Structure 1
Amino acid sequence: MVTERASKVVSLLYDTAYRLGISPWDLGKPMDELVDLIEGPSALPPGRAADLGCGAGTKSIYLARQGWDVTGVDISAQALKHARDRTAEAGVDVRYVEADILDMPSDLAGRRFEFLLDFGCAHNLRNSAKSAYAKAVAGIAAPQATLYLYGFTKGPQSITREQIDNDFGPYWELVSAEPGSIRRWPDAGPVWYRMVVRDR
């Protein structure tokens, strides 16, 4: 489990990055894979969505525009400030919550989300925390909820297929694992994992 001290360090790092305008993970638009899942021929029906590690709100705003009831969650207060400003400019409604994803606040734990999006959040966790993350996210999932998780599979920031099977497997059933369409040097093997929560 990530300690409170570690969480504060992570928050400080991201706050500093957003203050300096350094956020290369924010692509400015949703990836094609997410658009296909939300708008494609087998699109998920809109419901409640949680954008885990929402950053500056790009994906939260996109989901809200597609009719989803969106809650964005991030550990960085500075990221959420950007997200709220962007959301106001976009003219959509998104609820933002400042929280450590491994320590869900009670108001989140009381909700149930049909769709949970993780664009590069879980792959930042230490390996020892990934099982706790999988359990925590399952704890806010509605029955049959979908978790759509993007992460690198190589290097210090990664979430491998083995970790999906071992750490997520008790809580989530893997539906598909597809390579990400955007691949940059150095290639860290990005993959979209699509999972469905197991019956509790």
Structure 2
Amino acid sequence: MQSICIFLGASCGNDPIYMDAASAMGRELAARGITCVYGGSCTGLMNRLADSALEAGGRVVGVTVQALKDKEEFHRGLSELHVMPTMHARKKLMFDLSEAFIALPGGIGTYEEFFEVYTHRQMGLHSKPCALLNVNGFYSPMELMMRKAAQEGFMKTPHEESILIAETPAEMLDRLLGLPRG
């Protein structure tokens, strides 16, 4: 696997464990020679992910939209920064550049990005892995929601069969790459 798209918050969150997870993910991607594709921000978890990957010698590709770039500061040290005209074009490029998708903790934007690629996978439009990094139990309520949707007949394929869930970046990448845990 050469590139993975990471969806995550532009805020830091209230618990330092989230920043630690973003740092660990950046370092793990760099150590494994995997390009990190993300939203390009220089704030919050997004900034920590990019800084950690870059400091470890990794390649980081940011993808943003002009409307955000006009209002916000974006990371200046990236390997590449793509500025797209619309959110739709942004998400399409992120999809095209990536072989898998991992959501770290974040807000509604993170959920929206993750659920779009997951929905497309459920529809059979792609077979790229979709994964949730369940740091500090952050995604446990979402797991319950999806389990309930399946029990009530609203999801044909249970999420356990189509979403990879792990608690640490190392475990997540080992599972995505098919490496045995030892």
Decide which structure has greater helix share: 2
Question: If the TM-score is normalised by the length of the shorter chain, which range does it land in?
Answer: 0.3 to 0.5
Structure-2-length-normalised TM-score: 0.48
Structure-1-length-normalised TM-score: 0.45
